[in-house]
Structure 1
Amino acid sequence: MKKIISTDKAPAAIGPYSQANLANGILYISGQIPVNAQTGKLEEGIENATHQVMKNLEAILAQAGMTFKNVVKATIFLKNMDDFSAMNEIYASYLDPESFPARETVQVSCLPKNVDIEISMIAHEN
């Protein structure tokens, strides 16, 4: 049985998908881009964009009663791998160093709304 997780503290889906689905104690969070849910505007620059994406993910996790400590897997999509170091430093600042999730980071040619970053996550209830 799956439960759709949705919050107005993260941007609404821009297509036929949910912000997240909870199934059998596992939360699957759709890729988040740097849209500020309150203003609807895109955050620009990899630093601001990464902070916004992590805030969006945090809001969805909170709606499901979880935190970044519950995250077991992350997938990061970057338009430019030259942004890796800046993104990585900010990404790490939101996580508990004792419980970093598994992760991959890939460079892609284009992302929705032509943003520089998108991150999806999988979390597990403890």
Structure 2
Amino acid sequence: MNRAVTSPRVHEPFGRYSIAVESNGMLFMSGQGPFDKDKRLVGDTIDSQAKQTLDNVKFILEDNGYSLADVVKVTVYLEDIGLWAAFNEVYASYFTTEPLPARTVVGCSLNGMLVELDCIVVKSTGM
């Protein structure tokens, strides 16, 4: 059975979609960007926007019984692929548990955002 999940610390969706859907112990998170609870874009640097985006991901996970250590796949979208190194600095401070998630990075137009990311999460079994 599929279940839409929410977080009281993250803004409501901008359209008709779920922030994340849980199905059979897995969580499929929609693209998260650098927006605060009131849907305001946070910051104008990759550091500030990456931090807000990753905080949003962390909040959704924590508020639904998951952690960053449960993330198995991340797709990162960057407005400018030249921001890769600076983004990696912030990203590395969030994902510290081995094995690190698999990751894809795509350069694309983001309509004013510098970064967006989505992820697939599997509840850890404590192997």
TM-score (norm: length of structure 1): 0.93
Identity of aligned residues (%): 32
Please list, as runs of the form range in 1=range in 2, the aligned pairs for 1:55-74 lying within 5 A after superposition.
55-74=55-74
What is the rounded CA distance, in whole Å, between the counterparts of 2:96 and 2:2 in structure 1? 28
| Counterpart position of 1:95 | 95
2:11 pairs with 1:26: no
Residue 89 (structure 1) shift: 1.0
TM-score (norm: length of structure 2): 0.92
The residue matched to 2:98 in structure 1 has which SS? helix
Name the structure where helix makes up a greater proportion of residues: 1
Residue 97 (structure 1) shift: 4.1
2:5 maps to amino acid: I
Residues 43-102 of structure 1: CA distance to partner in whole angstroms, max 9, x if unpaired?
Answer: 221000000000000011012201100000000000101110010110110012422100
| Counterpart position of 1:77 | 77
| Counterpart position of 1:5 | 5
What is the rounded CA distance, in whole Å, between the counterparts of 1:60 and 1:76 in structure 2? 17
Alignment length (residue pairs): 123
| Counterpart position of 2:40 | 41
What is the rounded CA distance, in whole Å, between the counterparts of 1:63 and 1:87 in structure 2? 25
Residue 114 (structure 1) shift: 2.1
| Counterpart position of 1:119 | 117
Q: Which consecutive residues of structure 1, in runs of 5 or more, have no partner in the other structure?
A: none
What is the rounded CA distance, in whole Å, between the counterparts of 1:3 and 1:99 in structure 2? 27
